[in-house]
Amino acid sequence: MDLMVTTLAREDGLEAALAVLVQRDLVCRMIRPVPALARVALPALVMGREERAVLEECLGDDYPCAGWVEYRPTRREMPSGEAQEFSEDIFGTARIVTLQPCVADDTKIRVIADLSNDIGPVIPYLNAVVDNASYSGNGPSLSFMDGERMIVLRPRSISIAKADEIVDAWLCLERYRQTINDTWSRRAGIEPSFEARSKPNVIELIRRLPGTNCGMCGEMTCMAFAVKVCSGKAAIVECKPAFESTDSASRRALLEACAGMGIPVGSSFREV
């Protein structure tokens, strides 16, 4: 049986989902985060496609799920103990609101988590300590590559591309929670940076392009187009399959990749 996994962003939504599962006698497995991850995670639900359809029909729009992805067992070990406390907690809590397959690698997942607190004030300090980050004062926002993962920090959200599965996403969020709070606690000894320091990565951009070699951008291949974008000779908005279609996931992945590598999007584009 094909299994899917989802999570809800609010505790009352989770309670409503569990009530439906009990009332309809639906088969479901729950993945519970340990106390150490309580600040960044709510339990995830694993079920088959038929059970998913029933749950979504019963919940309607009142308690929307973050999204559904193929369930993959975790290879990561959850930490023991309680969540680390900070005397000045600028982060607060995180709850996943978007869960979907990663456009750049469909064996991975992409998550967006909303934050309870505003981390905007710490972003310039993070820009000073995170290598090869791209800072934007409009927001502000900070984008960087963490290994193969594209991370985007905004005042009220964190986006993570290429997480392995849901537990891996929780662990990433907890790690960034600790990094953000630790940086904030040391801010007196850090000179905030408002500089964008990044080198465009052609391969990362190619992975997020449609890969159809349609030629609508004026180039024969997506690779040639990616090289021109990274060299500043073309704008990413010229990729018509991504920016003139309803494929918002592909478009968002390209925008985040450009943000993370300091590539201008194009003055004519405005995200809706």
Q: Report helix angle 49-59 to 11-23, nearest 10.
A: 120
| Model confidence band, residue 193 (pLDDT cutoffs 50, 70, 90) | very high
Strand ranges inside 116-232, DSSP E? 134-136, 141-146, 149-154, 157-163
Q: Is the pLDDT of residue 228 over 80?
A: yes
pLDDT tens digits, 178-191: 999 999 999 999 99
**Residues pairing with 146 in the sheet:** 149
Six token digits for residue 16 = 């409503």
156-185 mean pLDDT: 97
Q: Could you read off the pLDDT of 87-100 as tens digits, one per residue?
A: 999 999 999 999 99
Per-residue confidence band for 197, with pLDDT thresholds at 50, 70 and 90:
low
From CA 94, how far away is CA 137, in angstroms rounded? Answer: 23
Q: What is the pLDDT of residue 184?
A: 98
Question: 266: how many CB neighbours lie within 10 A of its CB?
Answer: 15
Share of the chain above pLDDT 70, in %: 93
Q: What pLDDT sits at residue 270?
A: 43
Between the CA atoms of 119, 139, 40 and 143, what dihedral angle is there, to the nearest 10 degrees? -110
Most confident of 186-200, 210-224, 254-268: 210-224
Residue type, 101: P
The mean pLDDT value of the chain amounts to 89
Pair 158, 173: CB distance under 8 Å:
yes
CATH architecture designation of domain 94-189: 2-Layer Sandwich (3.30)
What integer is the mean pLDDT of 8-14? 91
The residue-averaged pLDDT of 244-259 equals 75
Does residue 210 register a pLDDT over 90?
Answer: no
Residues contacting 231, CB < 8 A, separation 6+: 200
Write out the two tokens for 177: 């929670």
- Smallest CA-to-CA distance from 175 within 205, 153, 193, 191 is with 153
Topology annotation, domain 3-70: Alpha-Beta Plaits (3.30.70)
Of 62, 23, 16, 75, the residue nearest 42 (C-alpha) = 16
How far is 179 from 181, CA to CA, in rounded Å? Answer: 6
| Mean pLDDT score, 118-133 | 93
Q: What are the extents of the domains in the chain?
A: 3-70, 94-189, 202-260
**Which distant-in-sequence residues (6+ apart) come within 8 Å of 87 by Cβ?**
185
Rounded Cα distance, 103 and 5, in Å: 18
Tokens of 158: 């964190």
21-76 residue pLDDT tens: 999 999 999 999 999 999 999 999 999 999 999 999 999 888 889 999 999 999 99
Residues 6+ apart with CB under 8 A from 118: 90, 155, 156
Q: Where are the beta strands (DSSP E) in 58-194?
A: 69-70, 94-101, 109-115, 134-136, 141-146, 149-154, 157-163
Predicted confidence band of residue 203 (pLDDT cuts 50, 70, 90): confident
54-68, 131-145, 222-236, 240-254: which has the minimum mean pLDDT? Answer: 240-254
The CATH code for residues 202-260 is 1.10.15.40
Cα separation, 234 vs 110, in Å, equals 27
Confidence of residue 247 (pLDDT cuts 50, 70, 90): low
Residue 39, pLDDT score:
97
**b/e per residue, 122-136, with b = 16+ CB within 10 A?**
bbbbbbbebeebbbb
Q: Inform me whether the pLDDT recorded for 269 exceeds 50.
A: no
